[in-house]
Each structure stands twice: as C-alpha cells, then as structure tokens.
C-alpha cells in the first residue's frame, strides 16, 4: 500500500521534472512547517548584471578577472566586463561572502559589505552611504577594495521571478511559514521581501553559510524545508528536513538536496507540496483497501466460507486494487 504509492508518485513527479530521492521527502512535505527560501537564483532569476557603479572605473577589469574564478550568480555579472590582458593569481573564495586575488601586484577583495568590514574594519561614511543607497533601491552592493581601501562599489541587479509572489502566497495558504534567508545586503533582501508580501521580520540578509546552517538547526524539531541553489546553501540544504535544490544550482546542491527541481521558479515547489499531500492521501486510501480486504477475508475464514478458489480470487484482486489505486492517482 505504501511503497507502491510512493514509487508511483516519484515517477509522476519525474515526468514533471521534479526529481525526488526518496519517500521521506514526500511524507515530510505533506506536513506544513517552515519554508526557508534563498534569494538569489531562487526568488530572483539569478541573471545578474551590473546596473550601477561607484568609484574607480579602472577597477572594472581587475574585479572581473578575480570574479571569473567564482561560480556564484553575483560573480557572473562581472563576466560581461572586458578583462582581457588582466590576470588574477592566488584567488581565494569565501562562499556566500566574497573573493580575493592578486592583480598586477595589488591584493583585490570583492564581496559584501559585511565581508569587507570583517577584513578591513568599518568602511568610511561615504562608502556606507553609497551601500545603503544601492540596497534601498533593491540593488545588491559589491564592495571592491584594493590594498585595504574600498575604491569602488558595483551595484548588482537581479529581477524578481514572475511566479515568486504567487508561489509564496500559495505556500502560506497551505500552512507554511515562509522566510527569506540570504547572504545579500539586508536592505536588498527587505526590498525583495516587500515585493512578495512578506513581513520585515520574515526576511534576513547578510547571512553566512554558517548562519543559514544554524537557523535550520535551531528549528526545534518542526519540519523545515530549505530551497536554494548555491554552494553557500549546501550545508543548510543537507541539515533541513527536506532540502530542495532549484534549477541551475551548483553541483554541491545536487549532492545535498533531497529534491531537485528541473524547471526554474518557485511554481514547481508549490506542485511538490501539493503532490506530497496527494501522495499521503493515496497511501491512506490504499491502507483502507487493504484493511477492508483483510476484514472480509478473515471473516470468511472464521465462518468457514473461505474456499481455496475464493482465496485465489480475492488475493490478486486485493493486490490489483492497490496497484491501480497507486498508479492511476493524479499526485503530480
């Protein structure tokens, strides 16, 4: 009754490009809890571009030569810049925070405001003002520091996915407590949260991979689903009750996630939640069929009405009922 329903549901989901590793994920997602969403590439399209620039224009090529060593969506925005003739060496990346390397004898660091502050201390008031202005406009600021001095700020824009607001609303109507947990600047995260109808206290920015992991682990035993696509989400995905990797995610996400979505956007997440509830309904229905068969068969046996021929008919009939119930159910 149970494994047939689960295997049939997983097969139906795969046809919709929702790849599920096991039945535990379906069972857990059928019970609402916390739904934690990453921002970049999950709520937004992950199609980054540099839409604002402040500071030294000559640093564009140098920053691009360092950022090209990263697979993070923010780093991809720098790929449009011309870095020919510039080569970065000794590149070291801190997942979800920033990257550094040596260019033409300079030590260049590019990353979030909190990351640069952790390396060099608080930035001057002028830099802080530009960062807050960018973030308030929904643009993620990337600070570029050379030899300890912030000399430029790149404003990275990433449009919200068309289905994000409606999908978040559908999750909430299903009983899920939706939150946003992102490594981007807090003001940029708040801007996105406002667009999808979330309260300010349900969205948190400047979260490191360790912060994300701690948030998932401090759930107190309730069901926690984590949706993300980056290397900085991998630990949180692995620790969540159900980790969901979205389309275009890094290889580490595929290894850590319990479910992988082969289609972009959050609409497949809503389908996954609905399909999980339908799968549990099929399991309960199959158990009712099995129980009814056993009640009838045992009653016949006790009263002496169970003949070998009747048993030979009832047993496969019971099995076929459960098989048909599982494979004809429209779970996904």
Is pLDDT above 80 for 57?
A: yes
User: Under a CB-based contact definition with an 8 Å cutoff, are residues 140 and 184 in contact?
Assistant: yes
Reduce the DSSP state of residue 91 to 3 states and report it: strand
Is pLDDT above 90 for 213?
A: yes
Arithmetic mean of pLDDT, 302-307: 91
The pair of three-digit structure tokens given for residue 14, joined into one six-digit string? 């795969």
Q: Say if strands 106-111 and 98-103 run parallel, antiparallel, or are unpaired.
A: antiparallel
State the pLDDT confidence band at 122, using cuts at 50, 70 and 90.
confident
State the pLDDT confidence band at 169, using cuts at 50, 70 and 90.
very high
Q: What is the structure's pLDDT at 251?
A: 78
Arithmetic mean of pLDDT, 153-162: 89
State the pLDDT confidence band at 178, using cuts at 50, 70 and 90.
very high
State the pLDDT confidence band at 140, using cuts at 50, 70 and 90.
confident
> Environment class of residue 214 by beta-carbon count within 10 Å: exposed (0-12), middle (13-18) or buried (19+)?
middle
The residue that leads in pLDDT, 71 or 215, is: 215
State the pLDDT confidence band at 220, using cuts at 50, 70 and 90.
confident
Q: What is the structure's pLDDT at 239?
A: 95
Q: Please enumerate in sequence order all residues whose Cβ is within 8 A of that of 126, keeping only pairs 6 or more positions apart, or say none.
A: none
CA-wise closest residue to 91 among 65, 118, 66: 66
Q: Tell me which H or E stretch contains 107.
A: strand 106-111
The C-alpha angle 227, 276, 174, rounded to 5 degrees, equals 70
Is pLDDT above 90 for 71?
A: no
Q: What is the structure's pLDDT at 85?
A: 76
In tens, the pLDDT along 24-36 reads: 999 999 999 999 9
Cα–Cα distance measured from residue 52 to residue 49, given in angstroms and rounded to the nearest whole number: 9
Q: Over the chain, what is the mean pLDDT?
A: 90
- Of the ranges 159-163, 177-181, 185-189, 295-299, which one carries the lowest mean pLDDT score? 185-189
Arithmetic mean of pLDDT, 199-219: 92
Length of the chain: 332
Is pLDDT above 80 for 119?
A: yes
Catalytic center residues: 38
């Amino acid at each position: 009754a149970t494994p047939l329903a689960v295997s049939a549901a997983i097969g139906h989901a795969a046809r919709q490009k929702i790849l599920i590793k096991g039945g535990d994920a379906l069972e857990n997602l059928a019970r609402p809890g916390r739904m934690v969403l990453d921002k970049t590439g999950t709520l937004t399209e992950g199609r980054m571009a540099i839409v604002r620039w402040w500071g030294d224009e000559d640093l564009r090529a140098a920053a691009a030569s360092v950022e090209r060593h990263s697979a993070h969506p923010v780093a991809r925005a720098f790929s449009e810049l011309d870095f020919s003739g510039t080569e970065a060496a000794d590149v070291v990346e801190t997942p979800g925070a920033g990257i550094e390397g040596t260019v033409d004898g300079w030590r260049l660091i590019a990353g979030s405001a909190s990351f640069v502050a952790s390396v060099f201390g608080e930035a001057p008031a002028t830099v802080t003002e530009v960062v807050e202005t960018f973030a308030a406009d929904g643009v993620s600021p990337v600070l570029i520091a050379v030899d300890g001095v912030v000399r430029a700020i790149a404003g990275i824009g990433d449009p919200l996915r068309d289905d994000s607001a409606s999908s978040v609303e559908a999750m909430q109507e299903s009983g899920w407590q939706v939150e946003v947990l992102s490594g981007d600047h807090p003001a940029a995260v708040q801007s996105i949260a406002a667009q999808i109808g979330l309260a300010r206290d349900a969205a948190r920015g400047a979260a490191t991979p360790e912060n994300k992991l701690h948030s998932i682990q401090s759930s107190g035993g309730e069901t926690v689903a984590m949706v993300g696509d980056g290397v900085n989400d991998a630990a949180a995905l692995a620790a969540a009750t159900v980790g969901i990797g979205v389309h275009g995610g890094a290889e580490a996400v595929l290894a850590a996630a319990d479910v992988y979505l082969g289609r972009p956007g959050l609409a497949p997440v809503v389908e996954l939640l609905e399909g999980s509830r339908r799968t549990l309904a099929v399991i309960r229905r199959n158990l009712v069929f099995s129980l009814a068969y056993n009640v009838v068969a045992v009653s016949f046996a006790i009263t002496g009405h169970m003949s070998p021929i009747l048993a030979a008919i009832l047993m496969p009939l019971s099995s076929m009922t459960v098989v048909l119930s599982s494979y004809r159910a429209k779970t996904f």
